Amino acid sequence: MDKILVIADPLAQLQSAFIKALSLAHSSCASIQVLAVCYESFAELNDSELDGDSIKNQIIQQYEDFWQKQINQYDSSLTISLQVVWHKHLHDSIIQECKANNYDLIIKTGHRSETSFYTPTDWMLFRDSPIPVYVVEPRSHKCEKVVLVALDALAKSTEKQALNSQLLESAFRLAVQTDAKLHCAYVIKIPTLLKDFDLVDPKTYANKIKVRAQENMAELLADYDITKECIHIEEGEPWGVLANLSKKLHSQCLVVGSMGRKGIVGKLVGNTAEQIIHIARTDLLVIGPDVDSKSLL
């Protein structure tokens, strides 16, 4: 990992994303680019003595002064640069910055505010980002040196198999960088209709799937030194099982894939990564199917 893009938190808040970036940069010797996005509408500014452009410049200057003080506090051995931009939409600013420069990782603080009519920046980044997104959990939580990665042990499509490889390699590298133990998980989800209409015996069905999953996991993890105690195959709703397992292990980070659902389907269904962010009290590393292998941690 060579270059990290940090999304600045509001000035009045703890700069959780920046603190996490410092930690990862020290272990990987990566440089850090801080992107501070600010915006305020002056459409209803009625005071003729107030100049919108002047206020805008003052706000930008406040951001620059604040961040320069933050950067100056830290070890000069790290390369840290700053860019303050005036933009209404944070998501668009981030994607534009990623397209203009070669970053390996986005780090931002997580925000959990999803409704049927509003999609937060985190969700949009999971769907659109060309590089991995590391979402920092701002709430205090107990964590051990454990990285948990969610894999699809029964993946059939080439796209999902490739995503498995990306997830595993990224989780492995993160575990090595942070001196953590790597745990792998697969969740067996029994189709709701099969259970509701008694078309299958849930226990028998789950046991049958578990045998196949164990065989596939063994093949998938063949090149990694992962003990049986660190392989978890459980049944349930993926987002709930993974969140509970992460809590049980006190994992410092949960690594998941995002298939990037968009439009109405993405709005109404979402995916595992987007569901987990609401309940998991741990950092979250999300990797999409379009991520370049060169961008892995």
**Does 5 score more than 60 pLDDT?**
yes
pLDDT, position 294:
53
**Does 281 score more than 90 pLDDT?**
no
pLDDT per residue as tens digits for the range 43-86: 666 665 667 788 899 999 999 999 999 999 886 789 999 999 99
The answer to the question of residue 2 being in a domain is: yes
9: three-class secondary structure by DSSP: coil
The answer to the question of residue 55 being in a domain is: yes
Co-location of 161 and 59 in the same domain: no
Co-location of 145 and 292 in the same domain: yes
DSSP string, 162-203: HHHHHHHHHHHHHHHHTT-EEEEEEEE---HHHHHTT-S-HH
Higher pLDDT, 12 or 248: 248
Co-location of 204 and 90 in the same domain: no
CATH number at residue 94: 3.40.50.620
Co-location of 291 and 164 in the same domain: yes
The answer to the question of residue 84 being in a domain is: yes
Co-location of 197 and 73 in the same domain: no
Co-location of 180 and 46 in the same domain: no
Co-location of 56 and 171 in the same domain: no
Per-residue confidence band for 296, with pLDDT thresholds at 50, 70 and 90: low
How far apart are alpha carbons 153 and 184 in whole angstroms? 10
CB-CB neighbours of 240 under 10 Å: 14
Given 90, 109, 128, which residue is the final one in a domain?
A: 109
Mean pLDDT across the stretch 230-251?
Answer: 94
pLDDT per residue as tens digits for the range 103-161: 999 999 987 554 433 457 888 888 889 999 999 998 877 899 999 999 999 999 998 99
pLDDT, position 128:
87
| Cα separations in angstroms, 45 against 38, 52, 60, 169 | 18, 8, 18, 52
The answer to the question of residue 7 being in a domain is: yes
Report the predicted TM-score, pTM, of the whole model to 2 decimal places: 0.89
pLDDT, position 208:
94
CATH number at residue 297: 3.40.50.12370
Co-location of 297 and 158 in the same domain: yes
Co-location of 233 and 166 in the same domain: yes
**Does 274 score more than 80 pLDDT?**
no
Mean pLDDT across the stretch 23-39?
Answer: 94
Co-location of 74 and 216 in the same domain: no
Mean pLDDT across the stretch 264-290?
Answer: 68
Higher pLDDT, 261 or 180: 180
Two tokens at 173? 């590298």
Higher pLDDT, 35 or 268: 35
Domain range for 58 is: 1-109
The answer to the question of residue 182 being in a domain is: yes
Co-location of 169 and 293 in the same domain: yes
The answer to the question of residue 123 being in a domain is: no
Q: How does the average pLDDT of the chain come out, rounded?
A: 87
Per-residue confidence band for 173, with pLDDT thresholds at 50, 70 and 90: very high
The answer to the question of residue 179 being in a domain is: yes
Q: What percent of the chain has pLDDT over 90?
A: 64
Number of domains in the chain: 2
Beta strands, E only, the chain = 3-7, 31-38, 80-86, 105-109, 133-136, 146-150, 181-188, 231-235, 253-257, 283-287
The answer to the question of residue 271 being in a domain is: yes
Co-location of 153 and 101 in the same domain: no
Within 13 Å, how many C-alpha atoms sit on residue 192's CB side?
A: 1
